[in-house]
Amino acid sequence: MDEFKVRQGELFCEEIPVLALVKKYGTPLYVYSRATLLSHFHKIQTAFAPLSPLICYSVKANSNLSILKELAAQGAGMDIVSGGELVRVQTAGVPAARVVYAGVGKTRPEIAEALRAGILMFNVESEPELQRINHVAGQMKKVARVALRINPDVDAKTHQYITTGTKENKFGLSIPMALGLFREARKMKHVSAVGVHMHIGSQITSVTPYLQALKRLSVLVDELRAAGHALEYLNMGGGMGIIYDEEQPQTADAFARAVVPLIRPLGLKLILEPGRFIVGNAGVLLTSVQYVKRGHVKSFVIVDAGMNDLIRPSLYHAHHQIFPVKKSRSGRLQLCDVVGPICESGDFLGKDRHLPPLAEGDVLAVRSTGAYGMAMASNYNSRLRAAEVLVSGSKAAVIRRRETMADVLATELGAAKAKK
Ligand SMILES: Cc1ncc(COP(=O)(O)O)c(C=O)c1O
């Protein structure tokens, strides 16, 4: 679970009342609990200990350098999907030998940078990408280690935007295509195909689709070995779901108990790529009420965080618990939408919520926003991106200062100067 607890009617992050953080740093504010972050990493590590996997934290979930450093210090590797994420993991001091690189659109410069850095392997998503990696590695007189990402065509029963392992999705290769591409890879001088990779989606609350996918991958591994391919790695991707509302995801232990018996007989080194499971419940977004607007059917609680700070409700219809961080007013619960200030009807943090009476200045917590929260934030409506604070016990550190308008305008003013 997590280290955000209500004590005597007030929300604490570890040992700090979150209102003290709001007073010091303002809102919107992302607050993370270090103890929660690390305990979730350790849950996976412990559950899968019998296979000593390399746990490559999925940087896209929350790419703040301090979060990356905390996890790297625990021995985590990193799963990256862009040249930018490569720079982040390098800046955070993550050894390149613990970095894997997925994504359908890797550019030539991105491939070259990753080869120069000496990453563990690329997770290859298509035939032209494999050819490109072979070509770039050849120019650099290197051999690139690759795993082929298999699309096992299983439905992870999650939101359509975060399912990735069916044949309708752009990711990975079908099993017949992968067989052909492994054959091709053997003829290429500058790639070494060392593994198979899958990632079937995100916020998956049942182990069943993983078991279906792993069974298909096991058959493929047998076929590849019979054809003489020397495989070393099986990368099972990420996707393990968390509790936002009333979900009942399997625990890390139950998950491992179910999948380990399928993986162990393959004799391959296991890689995992969890993102949300590690960081999702380690963060909350704090936001201040600006206005309460009475409508005909319900009220609108207008807050200072919007879809630019947290896009998950708008993009995925994701549910996040929302509640006042301190019970200050009594009265009947009221039906309301919690909305942001952005000029879009899709700008909401929660719809049809029952909240106690609220007024200007009250602070709300939007729970379980550590993953795909700040990482997906934007400057839409020229809004400044929030600050981030990491709490450890009774200490709090700003791990990203609040953006200023000067930060936002810098690239545009710089561009104007460069033109002169
Ligand atoms: C290749 C890959 N691995 C891992 C992840 C992490 O997923 P999650 O945060 O659900 O664990 C993603 C997320 O989209 C991904 O694309």
Write down the pLDDT at residue 171.
82
Which residues face 56 on adjacent strands?
77
d(CA 10, CA 367): 14
96-135 pLDDT tens trace: 999 999 999 999 999 999 999 999 999 999 999 999 999 9
Going by pLDDT thresholds of 50, 70 and 90, the confidence category of residue 172 is: confident
Would you call 305 helix, strand, or coil by DSSP?
A: coil
How many Å lie between the centroid of ligand 1 and the Cα of residue 349?
A: 23
Residue 412: pLDDT over 80: yes
Write down the pLDDT at residue 419.
56
pTM: 0.96
Going by pLDDT thresholds of 50, 70 and 90, the confidence category of residue 415 is: low
Residue with the bigger pLDDT between 144 and 154: it is 144
Q: In the numeric block, which tokens belong to residue 238?
A: 């990420």
How many Å lie between the centroid of ligand 1 and the Cα of residue 155?
A: 15
Residue 113: count of CB within 10 angstroms of its CB: 16
255-292 pLDDT tens trace: 999 999 999 999 999 999 999 999 999 999 999 999 99
Evaluate: CB of 77 within 6 angstroms of ligand 1: no
Beta-carbon contacts of 280 under 8 Å, excluding residues fewer than 6 positions away, are: 61, 242, 244, 368, 369, 370, 371, 372
Evaluate: CB of 273 within 6 angstroms of ligand 1: yes
Going by pLDDT thresholds of 50, 70 and 90, the confidence category of residue 165 is: low
Q: Given 13, 56, 336, 343, which residue is catalytic?
A: 343
Residue 404: count of CB within 10 angstroms of its CB: 10
337 in any annotated domain: yes
Which range is least confidently modeled, 15-19, 34-38, 224-228, 328-332?
Answer: 328-332
294-323 pLDDT tens trace: 988 899 999 999 999 999 999 999 999 999
Q: Which of 388, 330, 418, 303 is nearest to 64 (CA)?
A: 388
Evaluate: CB of 385 within 6 angstroms of ligand 1: no
Beta-carbon contacts of 141 under 8 Å, excluding residues fewer than 6 positions away, are: none
Q: Answer with the one of 228, 250, 276 that is the final residue of a domain.
A: 276
Write down the pLDDT at residue 310.
98
**Are 78 and 226 part of one and the same domain?**
yes
Mutual angle of helices 83-91 and 65-73, in 10-degree steps: 60
Evaluate: CB of 312 within 6 angstroms of ligand 1: no
Going by pLDDT thresholds of 50, 70 and 90, the confidence category of residue 243 is: very high
Write down the pLDDT at residue 156.
74
> Which of 54, 79, 369 has most ligand 1 atoms within 8 Å of CB, for mutation?
79
3-state secondary structure 119-135: CCEEEECCHHHHHHHHH
207 in any annotated domain: yes
81-101 pLDDT tens trace: 999 999 999 999 999 999 999
55 in any annotated domain: yes
Beta-carbon contacts of 385 under 8 Å, excluding residues fewer than 6 positions away, are: 308, 309, 374, 377, 378, 379, 402, 403
Q: Which of 29, 34, 28 is nearest to 13 (CA)?
A: 34
**Are 65 and 203 part of one and the same domain?**
yes
**Are 252 and 306 part of one and the same domain?**
no
Give the nearest ligand 1 atom to 203 CA.
10
Q: Which helix (H) or strand (E) holds 392?
A: strand 387-392
Residue 420: pLDDT over 70: no
How many Å lie between the centroid of ligand 1 and the Cα of residue 370?
A: 14
How many Å lie between the centroid of ligand 1 and the Cα of residue 277?
A: 10
Q: By the 8 A CB rule, do 21 and 386 touch?
A: no
CATH number of the domain enclosing 284 = 2.40.37.10
How many Å lie between the centroid of ligand 1 and the Cα of residue 373?
A: 14
416 in any annotated domain: no
**Are 158 and 184 part of one and the same domain?**
yes
Write down the pLDDT at residue 170.
80
How many Å lie between the centroid of ligand 1 and the Cα of residue 17?
A: 32
Write down the pLDDT at residue 78.
98
**Are 335 and 316 part of one and the same domain?**
yes
Evaluate: CB of 275 within 6 angstroms of ligand 1: yes
The 8-class DSSP code of residue 335 comes to: E
419 in any annotated domain: no
Residue identifier of the C-alpha nearest atom 16 of ligand 1? 199
> Is 336 one of the annotated active-site residues of the chain?
no
Residue 215: pLDDT over 70: yes
Evaluate: CB of 82 within 6 angstroms of ligand 1: no
d(CA 55, CA 71): 10
Is the link from the previous residue into 50 a cis peptide, with omega within 30 of 0? Answer: no
**What is the count of structural domains for the chain?**
2
Strand order across the beta sheet in which 16-17 lies: 4-7, 10-13, 16-17
Q: Answer with the one of 276, 309, 324 that is the final residue of a domain.
A: 276
**Are 263 and 155 part of one and the same domain?**
yes
Residue 386 belongs to domain spanning: 4-31+280-411
Give the nearest ligand 1 atom to 371 CA.
9
For the chain, give the percent of residues with pLDDT over 90.
Answer: 90
Q: By the 8 A CB rule, do 335 and 352 touch?
A: yes
How many Å lie between the centroid of ligand 1 and the Cα of residue 241?
A: 11
**Are 181 and 299 part of one and the same domain?**
no
CATH number of the domain enclosing 237 = 3.20.20.10
123 in any annotated domain: yes
Residue identifier of the C-alpha nearest atom 14 of ligand 1? 202
24-62 pLDDT tens trace: 999 999 999 999 999 999 999 999 999 999 999 999 999
Phi then psi for residue 259, to 5 deg, are -95, -25
Would you call 15 helix, strand, or coil by DSSP?
A: coil
338-393 pLDDT tens trace: 999 999 989 999 999 999 999 999 999 999 999 999 999 999 999 999 999 999 99
Write down the pLDDT at residue 417.
65
420 in any annotated domain: no
Q: Answer with the one of 276, 299, 316 that is the final residue of a domain.
A: 276
Residue with the bigger pLDDT between 149 and 153: it is 149
Residue 160: pLDDT over 80: no
Evaluate: CB of 79 within 6 angstroms of ligand 1: yes
186 in any annotated domain: yes
The angle at the Cα of 204, spanning 203 to 208, to the nearest 5 degrees, equals 175
Amino acid at 130: L
**Are 27 and 38 part of one and the same domain?**
no
For the chain, give the percent of residues with pLDDT over 70.
Answer: 97
Evaluate: CB of 277 within 6 angstroms of ligand 1: yes
Write down the pLDDT at residue 418.
60
**Are 299 and 199 part of one and the same domain?**
no
Average pLDDT value over all residues in the chain:
95
**Are 84 and 159 part of one and the same domain?**
yes
Evaluate: CB of 238 within 6 angstroms of ligand 1: yes
**Are 320 and 185 part of one and the same domain?**
no
**Are 250 and 322 part of one and the same domain?**
no
